[in-house]
Chains A and B, each alone.
With several copies, the nearest count.
Chain A
């Protein structure tokens, strides 16, 4: 394990400090917690948007704090849900009386911990609503599973819920729009390499020199199948086809595209993948409204990428284009 860290058990602590000292005019760390919030939280007359989850997904989640996106982000240990007391702190610190909206990725840990926090906050008289993001099409969404997991599509939920809140929408309106995003967003990822949780010290799985893993999660979980490394075009095709047929996205649909790096992927490779994704969409008559390429939802030092499509309507477009001054998502 080669990493630029200090004590492997202190990485989240060190990271949060390094993040807060980088942007002291924009964010604050709630004392004694792993919660980072907008410097001006709670923002009056606005539903607060709170997200979070395990660490190791940087810039998720604190990078999305800012006007037009999140009010606070709760950092768990590496790939581990934050605990209910931390989530509760975030809720209390951001609620301006207009209620708090939680964006939760569909992992049993995240869901159970955030839901326990929600129960506690409600017991204290705070209005709380939530959405559960499950955009990963790698796993079949059948009655036999807890359902699909939440990956990079979560960023679009942050963006659009954030824009709604900023525009003065009610808690219910924010929730409705966030659910619309969840219903229209699909993602899938792949990896060339595994990643190592610092405190564990060993890679989550091993891949041979000529192997890649398709349908990878964002926590070092193995994917749905393994095969010889393909070309960028083949990879883009496998991911995009699976996504398109899932919703399905149809000729004439307008979409936002996200090509997301998993942490150790050079941007060059993401652009090469994007080139092919655009071609495929073009051939199918699916209209690209806006494209985002970069590291948005990572998995430590995993090499790989994910593709996300969000089907847009005029309201979603408006929210997507609304200004955001979040550190990792300026619009």
Chain B
């Protein structure tokens, strides 16, 4: 299986769509834990990406440049914690793909590893802090483990999504240690972390795109 810039573009467009649909839900979660804007920040960022894709960026054939530009667009549209976090993820991932018009499974695997690492490095969060890292880090671990064993990206990514989902759900019970929600202390337990949720949406919509692409190919 090979990914072109067009595949990334279609994937990013589907993310923009999904974030729009989940806007209220993400805000609702953030209202309980933070300042209630996570749906808004995600929407602003992905709508900006969408606008860029609809104009010049839609022509970009270099998968690496595309991802870096998407990251920069997101960064300079959003503000808030998630700007630098997801932007760093996309830019680190993009670096891996620089100069490539076609991306193979191994490169896709490396893209996602760099993506998840990027968030962790930028935010300095650990598993258990009740952040998006609780989704992304288990996802990256599962991805790595499965890939190392089987070298099958689709199955590896399915494992990543499943681990990410478990990680996301684990944030419900957690007491927050990072970001705005940490001020709530014990009161933060009981609500799923919004960033962990949006991170899961990013993963699951990639998985959905993958399935469609493979189904269409066969």
Which A residues fall within an 8 A CB radius of B?
54, 76-86, 107-109, 112-113, 115-116, 136, 138-140, 144-146, 149, 197, 199-200, 202, 204-205, 215, 217, 219-224
Contacts and interface: CB of A to CB of B under 8 A. Distances in A.
Nearest to B176: A145
A245 B99 CA distance: 58
A81 B35 contact: no
B52 interface: no
Contact of A80 (B41, B122, B179): B41
B183 A139 contact: yes
10 contacts: A77-B44, A83-B77, A84-B84, A112-B83, A112-B123, A136-B183, A197-B40, A200-B37, A204-B36, A221-B35
A205 B36 CA distance: 9
A86 B76 CA distance: 8
A83 B178 contact: no
Contacts of A113: 79-80, 83-84
Contacts of A221: 34-35, 180-181, 183-184
Nearest to A226: B187
Nearest to B85: A112
Nearest to B178: A146
B184 A83 contact: no
B73 to A, nearest CB: 10
B31 interface: yes
Interface of B: 27, 31, 34-37, 40-41, 44, 75-85, 122-123, 177-185, 187
Given A80-B41, A144-B177, A200-B36, A109 B79 contact: yes
Nearest to B35: A219
Given A108-B123, A112-B83, A83 B183 contact: no
- Scoring B34, B77, B79 by chain A CB atoms within 10 A of each residue's CB, the highest score goes to B79
Nearest to A139: B183
Q: DSSP majority for the B interface? A: helix
Contact of B178 (A76, A145, A204): A145
A186 to B, nearest CB: 15
A116 B177 contact: no
A83 B36 contact: no
A108 B179 contact: yes
Given A83-B78, A144-B182, A219-B34, 6 more contacts: A86-B76, A108-B123, A108-B179, A116-B75, A200-B40, A221-B35
Given A80-B41, A83-B76, A221-B34, A138 B177 contact: no
B184 A109 contact: no
Q: DSSP majority for the A interface? A: loop
A220 B37 CA distance: 10
Contacts of B181: 221
Given A197-B36, A221-B183, A109 B75 contact: no
Contacts of A85: 75-76
Nearest to A88: B76
Contacts of A109: 79-84
A50 to B, nearest CB: 16
A261 B35 CA distance: 19
Contacts of B76: 83-86
B37 A222 contact: no
Given A113-B84, A205-B31, A222 B79 contact: no
Nearest to A56: B35
A189 to B, nearest CB: 11
B84 A223 contact: no
A76 B182 contact: no
A149 B183 contact: yes
Given A146-B182, A217-B183, A219-B35, A112 B81 contact: yes
A222 B83 contact: no
A161 B173 CA distance: 42
Contacts of A149: 180, 183
A219 B35 CA distance: 6
Contacts of A116: 75, 84
B180 A76 contact: no
Given A108-B179, A222-B184, A223-B183, A81 B36 contact: no
6 closest A-B pairs by CB = A112-B84, A109-B81, A219-B35, A80-B79, A109-B80, A145-B182
B183 A200 contact: no
- Scoring B44, B85, B182 by chain A CB atoms within 10 A of each residue's CB, the highest score goes to B182
Nearest to A79: B35
Nearest to A87: B79
Contacts of B177: 144-146
Nearest to B74: A83
A139 to B, nearest CB: 4
B36 A202 contact: yes
A176 B203 CA distance: 44
A115 B79 CA distance: 12
Given A79-B37, A146-B182, A222 B27 contact: no
